[in-house]
Amino acid sequence: MRQRSGLRDAFEYGLAVLVLDSLAYSPLPIANKLARGYSHLLDLALPRLRRVALANLAMALPDASTRERDRIAGGVFHSIARLLVTLARFPQMNRENIGQWIRYEGFEHFEEARRRGKGVLFATAHLGNWELSAFAHALLTAPMNIVVRPLDNPLIDRLVERYRTLSGNRLIEKKDFARSILKALAANEAVGILIDQNASLDSGVFVDFFGIPACAGTGFVKLAAHTGAAVIPGFVVWSEAEQKYILRFLPPVAITGDLQGDTARLHSVLESVICERYTVAMQRPAAEHFQNDSYRARVAAEKGIYEDCLKVHDLPQIFHYWSNKYIRPKLEAFGFSTPNEMFKKYLLEQAKRRPQDALRFASIGAGNCDLEVALTSHLVSQGRSDFVIDCLELNSAMIERGRAADASQRMRSDAEVENPAPVVS
């Protein structure tokens, strides 16, 4: 590593103190605006950060639009702004006012883990406000141990260390972490470790992370397997509705001693939490979503597109590319060449399993109901007519075409079946 100059360290330290003091002593609304300004300056001064974020998002969310990735990357800098404000105000936080900043969710998982008496390993990540999570837990429950890597600037490292320990937490440096962690767990204490760290081949295993092989460290699961400590995933996420953070403890992750499987399972939990946050950011609550004018406008536009379109399956080329790459292989693995074959097989199986029952199937997003009409003909040809297929479709013009096709099909079946099955009900 290249030697850092003392002048650079001093300049960065002075800048850090100035930023933290301005956020600590300004009224909170002004501090929030200042922090957003600082994070924007960071974005401009270090464009590499955004480039890396966008490159990672392209791998993790290949179906997201460029605009959406830009929005998510921008959200990262907004999150940094909130983190800066809370870090600056650590000296002002105490047991009486910490509830204004954060609350627990799933605390029972930690309580149960602690009752086991073998210590608790918190698996967390650089998600949300990881600095506040440990700080608040010490005030709300009890001080804990945090595994940290020293920062490159020794002056800033000492500054951050002082802030991190204000609530009573103990820091464990990575260079001597094993012995200290074992001692803490033996005393039934909690230890927090960031698991989203790249590892070298000799100290990690490859796991699937957002569909990409990533080399993840195995030290965490080795410690858990050796000590029998409970493993609790814990993450701090921002609640826009509550305007505060939520420290979420998830159910314990079982550790089996299989380094590959245990590490993969931990990172699968992390991926699911990130995906949930992404989904929340993308989607509003259902009631609000369906009442929104922009949603109604999109529905109206969709109806207009297909109002006079009879060949609704003439989809854009990107759909055929996506379908052939991701769906077709899965169908072929089960012995089908088209979705129609799969539906025919499993609907008929249900009919055979329950020969005395009147069956009812639902098709959501049925379009013109041509597939459903074909399935009806197939089931009727196999001797079943006591069933109904409910077709659900937003576009009234398309559902009317489905009714017409259904009536035509039943007219053709009248000669052979006394009560041919309805498709559109």
Q: Which two tokens stand for residue 20?
A: 């933290």
Q: What percent of the chain has pLDDT over 70?
A: 85
**pLDDT at residue 212, as a whole number:** 82
**pLDDT at residue 380, as a whole number:** 82
Residues 212, 344 share a domain: no
Please report whether residue 342 resides in a domain. Answer: yes
Q: Mark which of 268, 283, 298 sits at the end of a domain.
A: 283
Residues 246, 218 share a domain: yes
| Three state DSSP letters for the chain | CCCCCHHHHHHHHHHHHHHHHHHHHCCHHHHHHHHHHHHHHHHHHCHHHHHHHHHHHHHHCCCCCHHHHHHHHHHHHHHHHHHHHHHHCHHHCCCCCHHHCEEEECHHHHHHHHHCCCCEEEEECCCECHHHHHHHHHHHCCCCEEEECCCCCHHHHHHHHHHHCCCCCEEEEHHHHHHHHHHHHHCCCEEEEECCCECCCCCEEEEEECCEEEEEECHHHHHHHHHCCEEEEEEEEEECCCCEEEEEECCCCCCCCCHHHHHHHHHHHHHHHHHHHHHHHHCCCHHHHHHCHHHHHHHHHHHHHHCCCCCCCCCCHHHHHHHHHHHHHHHHHCCCCCHHHHHHHHHHHHHHHCCCCCEEEEEECCCCCHHHHHHHHHHHHCCCCCEEEEEECCCHHHHHHHHHHHHHHHHHHCCCCCCCCCCCC
Residues 174, 32 share a domain: no
Q: In the predicted model, is pLDDT for residue 86 greater than 60?
A: yes
Residues 19, 130 share a domain: no
**pLDDT at residue 288, as a whole number:** 46
Q: For residues 330 and 345, give the distance between their C-alpha atoms in angstroms, rounded to a whole number.
A: 16
Residue 340 CB coordination number (10 Å): 13
Please report whether residue 297 resides in a domain. Answer: no
**pLDDT at residue 143, as a whole number:** 96
Mean per-residue pLDDT of the chain = 84
Give the pLDDT mean for 90-97: 97
Burial 211-224 (b: 16+ CB within 10 A, else e): eeebbbbbbbbbbb
Please report whether residue 324 resides in a domain. Answer: yes
Cβ atoms 273, 210 nearer than 8 A: no
Q: Mark which of 52, 71, 88 sits at the end of a domain.
A: 88
**pLDDT at residue 301, as a whole number:** 57
**pLDDT at residue 321, as a whole number:** 63
Residues 219, 98 share a domain: yes
Q: In the predicted model, is pLDDT for residue 414 greater than 60?
A: no
Residue 42 CA, distance from chain mean position: 26
Residues 242, 356 share a domain: no
Give the pLDDT mean for 335-363: 81
Which whole-number Å values give the CA distances from 384 to 350, 351, 378, in the listed order? 11, 7, 9
Q: In the predicted model, is pLDDT for residue 3 greater than 90?
A: no
Residues 24, 119 share a domain: no
Q: At 209, phi and psi to the nearest 5?
A: -135, 105
Q: For residue 276, what pLDDT band results from cuts at 50, 70 and 90? A: confident
Give the pLDDT mean for 137-166: 95
Cβ atoms 157, 88 nearer than 8 A: no
Please report whether residue 291 resides in a domain. Answer: no
Q: Which two tokens stand for residue 369?
A: 């109901």
Burial 148-176 (b: 16+ CB within 10 A, else e): beeeebebbbebbeebbbebebeebeeee
Q: For residue 372, what pLDDT band results from cuts at 50, 70 and 90? A: confident
pLDDT tens per residue, range 30-73: 999 999 999 999 999 999 999 989 988 888 888 788 888 899 99
Residues 322, 276 share a domain: no
Q: Mark which of 37, 55, 88 sits at the end of a domain.
A: 88
**pLDDT at residue 85, as a whole number:** 97
Please report whether residue 303 resides in a domain. Answer: no
Residues 347, 207 share a domain: no
Q: Considering its fold, how many domains does the chain have in total?
A: 3
Residues 272, 179 share a domain: yes
pTM over 0.75: no
pLDDT tens per residue, range 230-254: 999 999 999 988 999 999 999 999 9
Please report whether residue 354 resides in a domain. Answer: yes
Please report whether residue 425 resides in a domain. Answer: no
| Among 17-26, 80-89, 173-182, 190-199, the least confident range | 173-182
Q: In the predicted model, is pLDDT for residue 127 greater than 60?
A: yes
**pLDDT at residue 314, as a whole number:** 60
Give the pLDDT mean for 193-203: 83
Q: What percent of the chain has pLDDT over 90?
A: 50
Strand partners, 233: 123
pLDDT tens per residue, range 296-340: 655 665 666 566 656 655 655 556 666 777 777 877 887 888 878
Q: For residues 131 and 83, give the distance between their C-alpha atoms in angstroms, rounded to a whole number.
A: 8
Please report whether residue 312 resides in a domain. Answer: no
Residues 173, 276 share a domain: yes
Residue 29 is part of which domain span?
1-88
Tell which wins on pLDDT, 40 or 374.
40
Q: In the predicted model, is pLDDT for residue 274 greater than 80?
A: yes
Residues 273, 144 share a domain: yes
